[in-house]
Amino acid sequence: MDIVVKGRKTEVPERFRKHVAEKLKLEKIQKLDSKVISLDVEVSKEHNPRQADRSDRVEITLHSRGPVIRAEAAAGDPYAALDLATSKLEARLRKQHDKRYTRRGQGRLSAAEVADAVPGVARLNGNGALATDESSDDIPTTRMGSLEVRGEGPLVVREKVHTAAPMTLDQALYEMELVGHDFYLFVDSETKQPSVVYRRHAYDYGVIHLETDPLAGSEAGGAGGALGG
């Protein structure tokens, strides 16, 4: 397996190249993905003084006979960025490895066992039609926020509330990179509006600001939809 280290509008010192070879442990990576072919490590630098705390960015791309896996991170120096990107890569490799292991049949249920193993699953009668439950009137109803759930599901609602300090757009981008998500919800410190920053293509980002319109009715709809615009 080859490791290719290159710089994007910046020079890559030989010392850093050696550190990459030591940091990316090939035996560990090949154990998680035996079909890996090569690793590309790209280093870039942001020269904006306002982004000094995340001026160095490292992107690791793993090519294999399976799907391409990519991890990137930004920090105040390339070594710290490499550490963050390596941790993300290993976490995604481990997740992909566990997914492949599960698909090999571990823990699979036969069709006859599903009804006993999954609470609230639909049952079929002898003719293959949905079986009716005469005791449906006795099914308990639970309210979860504005939703009404009958029985134990299968609807699962999870509600979380976070206390968030207002932050700048630059801080939100940095936090998004740290958690490795494609979007990040925050309160803009300038506008005081709920906002979402999201990844578009390569190093491009987008931001959505949510503004309350007291004159708009419920029929106006929400701000949902794809983030890729």
SS3 for the chain, per residue?
Answer: CEEEEEEECCCCCHHHHHHHHHHCCHHHHHHHCCCEEEEEEEEEECCCHHHHHHCEEEEEEEEECCCCEEEEEEECCHHHHHHHHHHHHHHHHHHHHHHHHHHCCCCCCCHHHHHHHCCCCCCECCCCCECCCCCHHHCCEEEECCEEEECCCCCCCCCCCCCCCCECHHHHHHHHHHHCCCEEEEEECCCCCEEEEEECCCCCEEEEECCCCCCCCHHHCCCCCCCCC
Q: Read off the pLDDT of residues 177-205 as tens digits, 9 standing for 90 and up.
A: 777 778 889 999 988 889 998 888 766 78
Model-wide pTM > 0.85: no
Q: Position 200: which residue type? A: R
Share of the chain above pLDDT 90, in %: 15
* CA–CA separation, 9 and 32 (whole Å): 32
* CA–CA separation, 66 and 86 (whole Å): 19
Does 39 have pLDDT greater than 80? Answer: yes
Q: Which is more confident, 78 or 220?
A: 78
Residue 121 confidence class, pLDDT cut points 50, 70, 90 = low
Does 72 have pLDDT greater than 70? Answer: yes
**Beta strands 183-187 and 194-199, pairing class:** antiparallel
pLDDT of residue 82: 92
What value does the mean pLDDT of the chain take? 75
Q: What is the mean pLDDT of residues 83-92?
A: 89
Q: Which is more confident, 160 or 79?
A: 79
Q: What is the mean pLDDT of residues 118-147?
A: 58
CB of 155 closer than 8 Å to CB of 149: yes
Rg (alpha carbons) of the chain, rounded to whole number: 24
